[in-house]
Amino acid sequence: MRKLKTIELKRLSIEEYHQAIKNPLVVLLDNVRSAYNVGSVFRTADAFGVQELILCGISPCPPHKEIYKTAIGAENSVKWTYEEKILNSVISLKAEGYTIVGVEQTSNSVSMQNYNWEKGTKFALVFGNEVDGISEEILELCDFFIEIPQFGTKHSLNVSVAAGVVIWDLVKKLTYEK
């Protein structure tokens, strides 16, 4: 056994990635304050073929050295936009037929392992601020909420880790499962 060299992984070039078919998934970051977290979400979005990343409110945007450090170039491959008010993006996505999914612990949230992502649906995942979660005004506009099951003493995961877990679950179920 040996580790594969980067060239052996046969990854797409940035130009090929731009042309590739993406998953019907938009990710919104609602006032995520850490540029390292934003960069990590860029990298996850690249890995799983996310259609677009929308940075909202105080979320840092490229060019930013901390984003570069964790994104490792994914800020160049992933389509992204900035919207000062997340409300504008959510309303627009709803009008385009997206199902808005809040990743948040609420009285109505469904545990991720119990949610059946419906194939053929366009999803927009909303991830909130590291301390306060999703903005109150956006909670009212979400179609439903999912939460990641946890078994330790902490009540949440880092937002970039949560994004990786949820995006992988969605892509896996839409792409690989029958």
The rounded distance, in Å, linking the Cα atoms of 3 and 175 is 26
Which pLDDT score, from 0 to 100, does residue 121 have? Answer: 96
pTM: 0.96
Residue 34 covered by a domain: yes
Q: Quick check: is 4 in a domain? A: no
Burial of 41 (0-12, 13-18, 19+ CB in 10 A): buried
Calpha distance 57→130 (Å, rounded): 13
Closest among 113, 22, 80 to 71, alpha carbons compared? 80
| CA–CA separation, 105 and 108 (whole Å) | 8
**What percentage of residues in the chain have a pLDDT greater than 90?**
95
In a domain, 79, yes or no: yes
Residue 51 resides in a domain: yes
- Report yes or no on 44 lying in a domain: yes
- 6 in a domain, yes or no? no
CATH of the domain at 110: 3.40.1280.10
Q: Say how many domains are in the chain.
A: 1
Closest CA to 162 of 136, 129, 135: 129
Determine the 3-state secondary structure of 133 from DSSP: strand
User: Which pLDDT does position 3 carry in this prediction?
Assistant: 95
Q: Does residue 12 fall inside a structural domain? A: no
Q: What token pair was written down for 53?
A: 């990343």
Q: Percent helix, strand, coil in the chain (nearest 5)?
A: 40, 20, 40
pLDDT band at residue 26 under the 50/70/90 scheme: very high
User: 129-158, pLDDT tens digit by residue?
Assistant: 999 999 999 999 999 999 999 999 999 999
Q: Which domain holds residue 130?
A: 19-148+155-175
